[in-house]
Structure 1
Amino acid sequence: MSPLWIVPGRVSVLNALHRVRLWNGTFFEKVLLKTLGLRIQLGHKVGEGCSNPKSTFANDFVVLHVNGIHQVALDFCDCEMAQIPIIQLLRHRWFPATVDNPKSASTFTVLQQFHILSFESKASCFEYYHTLVRLTDNTSMESPKDRYSAFLRMVREYRHIKMLKRSGRGHDPMGAAGTKPGGCAVLCPACPQPKYNLPAGWESALPGQRWLYCLFLALDANFRLKRKHVSSSIADPALGDGMSYFVKRNDFIDFIDTFGKLIIQDPSTCSNHKAVDAERSTKGLAATGVGTIDCARHDVKQPISVGDLQKSERYVNMDYLYFTSLKDTPLVELVVSYDIACQWSVKLWDRMGQYPQHLHCGPSDKRSISFLVPKFHLPAHIMSCQTAFSFNFNLHVGCTDGEAPERGWSHINPVAMSTREMGPGSRQDTLDDHFGDWNWKKTTLMGISLLRKIQVAVAECNEHTFRYHQFEAGLNATHVEQWSKELDLWLQDHRKQNPFEPHFKPLTQNLVRRELANQDAAELANGTAYVLHETVSASQMMMMGIDLENQQRRLAVDAAELGPHSTDIQHTQIQVRRNILKRKIDAWVSIQHLYIPSLSMVRAQSAGDQPEDPAERVSLILPSSMDRHIPCDPRLCSIEWKLRKSQANDALDDLREGLRLRAYLYIDKDRFLRGQRHNTRSRGVIEQVNVKVDAAALKYRVARDAIYPPSTVLGIVGWEAELPPLLGNDIKQLSGDDNETEGHRSLSWIWTRVGGGSRVNEEERLQDVLRIEWCKTKSRAERWSEEVKLLLEEMRRVLQFFSSRAVEWDRRAQGMCFTTSHPAKHEGLASYSARQASLFRTLNAYCQRLWRFVPRYVELGGMVDVIPPEITRAHDED
């Protein structure tokens, strides 16, 4: 059969990859064009300057196409005027697998299709390649030559070249080698970018306006993006190391090796965060996850702000990412969100002093940095953190929630299973590519996103401003003026008295015990002490009784867990505890009979012939559980009343702490834990916390029930309002319903109760509650007002950013930076620049059209609809 020649020409070459079927007399069967004699000639056509054509033959050249994998007979032009083989392939939109003597290639269509598909479906190269294999032959009997490794290489090179091209590196005389750190990252158009979207003279803005040019950052870690000990940075280096989102690998590793052991993290003074992130397994892992710095308001990854974690979420790793991402910024206003900001920020500047000079970017006379905790994570912190580090109560943050990284993880987590098997360079380039696509999608959707936000913000601003003025109108003007001064002082310096917290703290059991001990000492000094035992006073006897009661409750809970399949060791441990507790009770009862002699007769009469109760069921017969006919000194009732009230306050503290810890454990479980083993272990930890929550609730109910009898004897009234009954639906975490927000939430009374000693009267407690509510109402109105102003400034910045980028590409289109004098290359560079400039102008025009009603909407206070019906319908369908 004579060969069928396909001469150069784009359409002809693409047609050469069609799949054909040949009628064999019975049915159509697959046949390769190569077997029909097809040969593809690349390079020159005869008569087009090629006077003496020569060819280099490639009879088994493999091409990956969208309809399968093709084996073709390919001839490269080898005349004096011919380009090298890889140029010949690229001119026909075939991407070669190697630069030296290529034996396979992929069509640009295949690479582009996989590139987009990997972003949308998170399909791996392995899955896509074997899809092509099955499209070629779904029987596995005539599978094409394996080109999986070659496809991996082509995809990686294609991604890298596209990144360089889109960032304008082809227009720069320095090329890819001159790329600055983070120079290929897609920037957030709504964040302050001094080069692109800040007005002239922004540096000299008045203090009251500087917050509009604030940069909001959010730090977080993702422990699903692990990497196994596979390959090395020598065998698998990153093509774009430090060019976009990941920090330069070698610099980062050297820093961690130098300071990883020098930086010692102090124990947490907040909730026990180590309970949820410590002791993560590092066996077989080169990286346990990644840490990142994001834009906290728009969920966009910052340049050079991603790095691997070697062991949990260490400060030293996050410090490097934080300082690296900020070292070149001239911005003076910063708000930094981090779920452990209350601990991480304490000695941040001390740690910075130990780091190299190029990482120093700390506070100065002109720079203002605020550290806050994301709203969803805040309930897991202690009460003092829930105001000092709250986005709701601090100035100039709008309605930022700080949870932007969490939304971004849902996009990147599906690639975790494929990237964990990659070498360091492949994984870094892949994640960089996905982060870049995420940023670009956020950029193109910025118009609709900001439009929806300002629609909500204007309505909420009006609503909360009205509520604030309405609430304030019913308050005493003198009190409001005093509260306003107190709030202003605290906002300027959080070390001042916090107006969002009660000024009258509940009396704790330890404090009451200390007061009783001091009272015993004073009575011993003046000879009026109530002491009938040589070493144990009346107050000590009552404290011991309440402690024994607590031990009985704990033992009863543990004994109830014994079942028919419990081991002998478990039964032995419970019995030993019973024996020890029984001896303690017997010793205590002998002392109690000295202070309440009538109880000896009561116990003797009730004993009779009945079997002895186990230690946890022995009745201690404290004054609160005595029958009224049993004589008892009122002083014992007074002591028990004080101890029981403080015991109830302690129980509420334990209950709140347990609920905060449980909320944080659920956060950790949802974010980081996958697999039956880890989830089972996590459920076990959560169940232990639930046991503590139930124990604290029982402790409160017992204490409250025990308060009533002595309060009746002593004639004390009004304590019921301070210590309400604890119902089942009262036991819920601070954040309440997931659908509730700060402005609409319904809190359980356990989070809002104002406790106090007997010296605090009702009027003082009422003013305390009113002050807290006034501060919160005022803060809500101010945050929504700030949100409207921030959104208007962000809209202005987005429009200016797109215009600035268009002008930047226009300058490139003028040929000012071209590195070649070749007419065709010059024309290609100019054409691409013009297309990019047109793209940014189109985005600018699109946003202007979407936002054309916004000024009028803000002016009228949300009385008109700013979203055109066609936009609403389109996104409702989406």
Structure 2
Amino acid sequence: MKQADVRIGTPCACGNAIREVRCLDCTQFSPLCRSCWVDAHKHHPFHWAEVWSHERGYFVRQDISVLLDSDYGIPLGHNGERCPKASKAILMTVVDLNGVHATKITTCQCGDNGRWRQLFDADLFPATVAEPQTAFTFRLLRDWQIMTLQSKITAYHYIRALRRLTDNVFTGNVPDPYKQFMFVTRIWPLLEAEKRFGRLHGDGMNELFPRRPKGNLMLYCPACPEPDVNMESGWERTPSHLCHLHSLKRTVDGNFKTGNYDKKNDTNDVSLFGGRAYMPSEQRYQHYLETVPQLQKEKTTCNHLNVANGVNRAKFKNQRITGNINVQCEHIFVRSSVDMTYGERYHFSFSHALVDLAMELDLEAAIFDKGHEPDCIWSYDNMCGLTPNISQRWHKYHKRFAYQIDKSRWLIPACHVKGHGPGCVPLYCYVYKPCTSHFHAETAEYGWAVFNGVGPSVLQMNPGHRIDTLVIHYGDWNWRKTVGLARQLVKDLNHAKKQYIEKRDHFIGLCELNESRVVAWSAMDRSPRVDPRNKRSVISVYEHNHEKAPTLKALVDRLMSSKDTITVSSGDVKVGAAVSWLQEGLALAQLQSRIRRIAKTCKANPTTEVRSRRTKLSTRIDKWRKEQTRFMRSIAPQLVGQSAEEPEDRCLFLPSDFSASDRQKFRLLGLGNKQVQMLEVALGDIINTLQTTCKTLTAAYERKIKHARGQDANTRSNQEIRSIEAKRETLIADYMLFRDALHALGALDEVKWRPLTAKDTFRKSTEKRRTPGDSQVTEGNLWNMTRAGFSTSDPKIAARPRKAVLKVNTPDPNKTRTEQQSENPGVPPEGWIWSSGRLKNMSATEIEAWEETNDRIQWFRAEADFERWQECVESLHAEFTRVIARFAKDRDSWATLATKYTPTAGHVAYAKEHADMFESLRVDAEMKFRHAQLDFLKTSAGETLADRVLLWRANQETAFGFDRYVCQF
């Protein structure tokens, strides 16, 4: 037990007193007498003294200042020794990591240094300049800064914890330094930032980085292009179709978790950073709000905007600031941030003008010479509403950078674009945009998960304190991304190389498969364009431009009668034979899925029905396997041992069961292409059947309510309903099975074939009378689907906001459809597969045209996937070289500060330490890059990366036999 010590009461080593004081803050510390304990702790004065009380019989915690006579105080000014001319003991509250100390100090009277300076020299940060009574140790402030940045703990709870460490019983008797702590923690991060960015070395950093704003306290991304810092010599000569090597990729996104209440604030509370880091100064921001119109009423028919316009404004009640708009680079470094202001003259979330301001702040951070700026790509989830009049706005209100906006390109994040109208996908999806690499832009959401942690704190802060808090969290986020950037780039590069090989092999296979048509296809324009006959739709080589699709029976009948052949692993075979075999394979996959679902309920003891189904399925699979070797002879060794498993668990080895590279390796591309066609049509057939089934289920429910009387009638009705529900669940499972297979083949259109659940099948009754609230209910997703996929005939109807019966619940545009449904469990979900009309049967000529279109779209999408990953591999090489160059620039800059801008020896040492730190980061990045880069893209003296890429691409083109590299914007 540590509650007592047998050495207490024995003579102290000094021979003048007995041992009665111990220290638990020291390691293996032997109890001493009071005088010896004080002498041993002259350099650790804030350790707690555990004094043995003979009256009480246990140790009592005391401060060092009460161990000796009343005139003793912690000496300042003589490195722990008492000054010969020391002042009288002064009462002080000193806060350290182990608690709040009500102590005493004595100041040195030998020199001219006042109390504030002497406290600071002793690593104590005073709360005031004149006659301070409270101070905080430097190590406490460092600990607080890391704790709040990492765990988002508030100052109130941090101080409360220190007071409890001091006395966990009578905590109320412990001095409360909360107000003083709030003041000090405003100044400490600013001083730290000034030091870390070299601002304490005079004007050195401004001269070494002349293109950055003067006095800048923002941490830049090392991988993004910055003029005169990390860009290779001769980068301006990069051809336009390789502009992705040096492009600026930016994401714009808003968040409503970092707002601020409209209350009586301290008018003197201003941001100490003063617009020098990430956020504009208060003066600039207010001037901008007063001079630039905030509400941009621009007409649009996009589904995303129609839904978003119905947002509930009540959630922002009593808030003067509703959140922030951030601009980030593709590496998730915060570049700029602007407050969103709430009021009648502002848009419900954030107006286009505030987005423009955030973008302007980003462009100001590193200014390129006019005419020599790199390609700039902006991503924003509301881009279809932002861009129509952006050129006019910038030429009027942001003239300095309007020329860059005129040359910029625009994207919508990959997942967000699925919630937009059908025309937004070809216009704004990165996959169909040349020279965008794999810039999916969903990384904009990553940082919010961290910054939301400070949301509850900044909601109540004064305006200036709130801005400073956000700024230091942005800076810490950027620093963590900086030190981990090389590791992340290695991970991304290795992944990109793997994806590139897989997408390349898949695309080469499709080129060989469609050899006679590829030359004509490659000459087609990839650029999307608005349909002149229907302004709401967009014509694109990557999308179906009509709703017609054949039935599976019609497609199979045509293919069975075709005299064409396809190439399989055993040679050329007739299309009809392969399609017949594939059709049976799809049927077997459906049977396997159904037996698995049934077997789950009786896994331990299979029923007679399950055993019977397994026997029949096993027989069909064995028969099907015999014919499989005819089409897939190259995989025959993998079929060995399959009969040992339950039939529903056997892999059928359809083309969808192989990766893209394996389909190329085993010569299964022809079969895979036909499977894609059949799956597309089969999904449409399932939708039509499911619509009929759900209509029957609705009618069965109504008949039961209206006609079922008595136990027998109810039992029969319930059996009928359960039977129909089981069929519905089977169809949903079949739909998802075929959808997953289409995804495995790399041909899934996620907008056309969306995930399907039972909620999507809701349909308002057509038999019972209308009831109050029916007009507020939207039918399920099933009723917005046709055999050709998601119906886009009326985007306004598809985008109508969902509302509950008798109670209006406006959807939150920041939440996904699934999240909104979970918050309103009683409200039927919006639909995407219920259609008001039926498609007519297609003629043989129409089916043939549909097949050709399907093949063409698959080829173009495979080409786009391949090109984006190839660009990604190339871009990551450029990013790695920029990271290495940036760390070298920082190293050299700090080395220059150490020799040229050095007021004191401390400045020299700090600059040298930072120079070595950036050299270590450079060496680490260089080593990682050396192991991950492609040898063919290594540059030599006088070469640029673009030169190597051109040679590499020329070598790669020999696999295709035609020139695809015509960049079309």
Q: TM-score, normalised by structure 2?
A: 0.62
Query: 1:561, CA displacement in angstroms?
Result: 15
Alpha-carbon distance between aligned partners in 2 of 1:184 and 1:265, rounded to the nearest angstrom: 37
Alignment pair present for 1:220 and 2:253: yes
SS at match of 2:173: coil
Match of 1:399 in 2: 438
Partner letter of residue 855 of structure 1? Q
SS at match of 1:72: strand
Map 1:761-776 onto structure 2 (within 5 A): 761-776=846-861
Map 1:490-639 onto structure 2 (within 5 A): 490=528, 497-506=539-548, 616=767
Alpha-carbon distance between aligned partners in 2 of 1:561 and 1:237, rounded to the nearest angstrom: 69
Query: Given the alignment, which residue of 324, 340, 344 partners 2:361?
Result: 324
Map 1:60-99 onto structure 2 (within 5 A): 60-79=91-110, 81-99=111-129
Alpha-carbon distance between aligned partners in 2 of 1:761 and 1:493, rounded to the nearest angstrom: 21
Query: 1:230, CA displacement in angstroms?
Result: 4.1
> Are the aligned partners of 2:295 and 2:351 in contact in 1 as well (CA < 8 Å)?
no
Alpha-carbon distance between aligned partners in 1 of 2:918 and 2:80, rounded to the nearest angstrom: 43
- Mark the CA change 1:813 to 1:491 in structure 2 (over 3 Å): closer, same or farther: farther
Map 1:274-673 onto structure 2 (within 5 A): 274-275=308-309, 277=311, 279=313, 281-295=315-329, 297-302=330-335, 304-310=336-342, 311-327=348-364, 328-330=366-368, 331-355=373-397, 357-358=399-400, 360-363=402-405, 368-477=407-516, 479-488=517-526, 490=528, 497-506=539-548, 616=767, 652-653=791-792, 671=814
- Mark the CA change 1:786 to 1:662 in structure 2 (over 3 Å): closer, same or farther: farther
Which stretch shows the higher mean deviation, 346-355 or 161-170? 346-355
Partner letter of residue 435 of structure 2? H
Map 1:769-808 onto structure 2 (within 5 A): 769-808=854-893
Partner letter of residue 771 of structure 1? R
Alpha-carbon distance between aligned partners in 2 of 1:141 and 1:27, rounded to the nearest angstrom: 20
> Are the aligned partners of 2:338 and 2:357 in contact in 1 as well (CA < 8 Å)?
no
Calculate percent identity across the aligned residue pairs. Answer: 22
Query: Given the alignment, which residue of 189, 204, 210 partners 2:243?
Result: 210
SS at match of 1:450: helix
Map 1:43-192 onto structure 2 (within 5 A): 43-44=77-78, 53=85, 55=87, 57=88, 59-79=90-110, 81-140=111-170, 143-173=173-203, 180=213, 183-192=216-225
Gaps of 5+ in 2: 1-16, 18-32, 343-347, 550-691, 707-764, 770-782, 939-969
> Are the aligned partners of 2:199 and 2:205 in contact in 1 as well (CA < 8 Å)?
yes
Q: How many residues end up aligned between the 2 structures?
A: 664
Alpha-carbon distance between aligned partners in 2 of 1:77 and 1:679, rounded to the nearest angstrom: 68
Query: 1:32, CA displacement in angstroms?
Result: 2.6
- Mark the CA change 1:139 to 1:299 in structure 2 (over 3 Å): closer, same or farther: same
Alpha-carbon distance between aligned partners in 1 of 2:52 and 2:34, rounded to the nearest angstrom: 19
Query: 1:246, CA displacement in angstroms?
Result: 1.1
Alpha-carbon distance between aligned partners in 1 of 2:926 and 2:834, rounded to the nearest angstrom: 60
- Mark the CA change 1:769 to 1:175 in structure 2 (over 3 Å): closer, same or farther: closer
Map 1:655-734 onto structure 2 (within 5 A): 671=814, 683=822, 688=827, 690=829, 692-693=830-831, 697=833, 699=835, 703-704=837-838, 718-719=841-842
Match of 1:853 in 2: 931
Q: Deviations over 1:118-169 (max 9, x none)?
A: 1221111111111100000101256322210101111121111101110111
> Are the aligned partners of 2:784 and 2:834 in contact in 1 as well (CA < 8 Å)?
no
- Mark the CA change 1:346 to 1:559 in structure 2 (over 3 Å): closer, same or farther: farther
SS at match of 1:77: coil
Query: 1:646, CA displacement in angstroms?
Result: 12
Query: 1:369, CA displacement in angstroms?
Result: 1.3
Alpha-carbon distance between aligned partners in 2 of 1:280 and 1:476, rounded to the nearest angstrom: 60
SS at match of 2:91: strand
- Mark the CA change 1:46 to 1:123 in structure 2 (over 3 Å): closer, same or farther: closer
Query: 1:378, CA displacement in angstroms?
Result: 1.3
Partner letter of residue 472 of structure 2? D
Which stretch shows the higher mean deviation, 241-250 or 495-504? 495-504
Match of 1:622 in 2: none
- Mark the CA change 1:248 to 1:47 in structure 2 (over 3 Å): closer, same or farther: closer
> Are the aligned partners of 2:253 and 2:380 in contact in 1 as well (CA < 8 Å)?
yes
Alpha-carbon distance between aligned partners in 2 of 1:482 and 1:685, rounded to the nearest angstrom: 51
Alpha-carbon distance between aligned partners in 2 of 1:561 and 1:148, rounded to the nearest angstrom: 68
Query: Given the alignment, which residue of 288, 292, 305 partners 1:255?
Result: 288
Alpha-carbon distance between aligned partners in 1 of 2:489 and 2:453, rounded to the nearest angstrom: 27
SS at match of 2:169: coil
Gaps of 5+ in 1: 508-548, 564-613, 619-643, 712-717, 720-757, 821-825, 861-878
Q: Deviations over 1:489-509 (max 9, x none)?
A: 5599999942112244559xx
Which stretch shows the higher mean deviation, 386-395 or 140-149? 140-149
Match of 2:76 in 1: 42
Match of 2:753 in 1: none
Query: 1:562, CA displacement in angstroms?
Result: 12
Query: 1:264, CA displacement in angstroms?
Result: 3.4
Alpha-carbon distance between aligned partners in 1 of 2:52 and 2:38, rounded to the nearest angstrom: 29
Query: 1:205, CA displacement in angstroms?
Result: 3.0
Query: 1:282, CA displacement in angstroms?
Result: 2.9
- Mark the CA change 1:560 to 1:839 in structure 2 (over 3 Å): closer, same or farther: farther
SS at match of 1:224: coil
Match of 2:59 in 1: 28
Q: Deviations over 1:392-434 (max 9, x none)?
A: 1111111121012201111111111111111111111111111
Q: Deviations over 1:736-780 (max 9, x none)?
A: xxxxxxxxxxxxxxxxxxxxxx79622222221111111000011
- Mark the CA change 1:257 to 1:359 in structure 2 (over 3 Å): closer, same or farther: farther
Match of 2:48 in 1: 19
Q: Deviations over 1:768-819 (max 9, x none)?
A: 11111110000111111101001111111111110000000011000x234x
Match of 1:828 in 2: 906
Alignment pair present for 1:244 and 2:283: no
Match of 1:530 in 2: none
Q: Deviations over 1:26-70 (max 9, x none)?
A: 11112232222341121248999x8x8352x46320111000010
Alpha-carbon distance between aligned partners in 1 of 2:786 and 2:915, rounded to the nearest angstrom: 70
> Are the aligned partners of 1:486 and 1:497 in contact in 2 as well (CA < 8 Å)?
no
- Mark the CA change 1:245 to 1:73 in structure 2 (over 3 Å): closer, same or farther: same
SS at match of 2:541: coil
Which stretch shows the higher mean deviation, 185-194 or 276-285? 276-285
- Mark the CA change 1:560 to 1:800 in structure 2 (over 3 Å): closer, same or farther: farther
Query: 1:86, CA displacement in angstroms?
Result: 1.8
Q: TM-score, normalised by structure 1?
A: 0.68
Alpha-carbon distance between aligned partners in 2 of 1:561 and 1:810, rounded to the nearest angstrom: 85
Alpha-carbon distance between aligned partners in 2 of 1:113 and 1:346, rounded to the nearest angstrom: 49
Q: Deviations over 1:76-124 (max 9, x none)?
A: 2234x23122221111111111122111111111111111111221111
> Are the aligned partners of 1:500 and 1:776 in contact in 2 as well (CA < 8 Å)?
yes
Partner letter of residue 74 of structure 1? I
SS at match of 1:421: coil
Which stretch shows the higher mean deviation, 96-105 or 758-767? 758-767
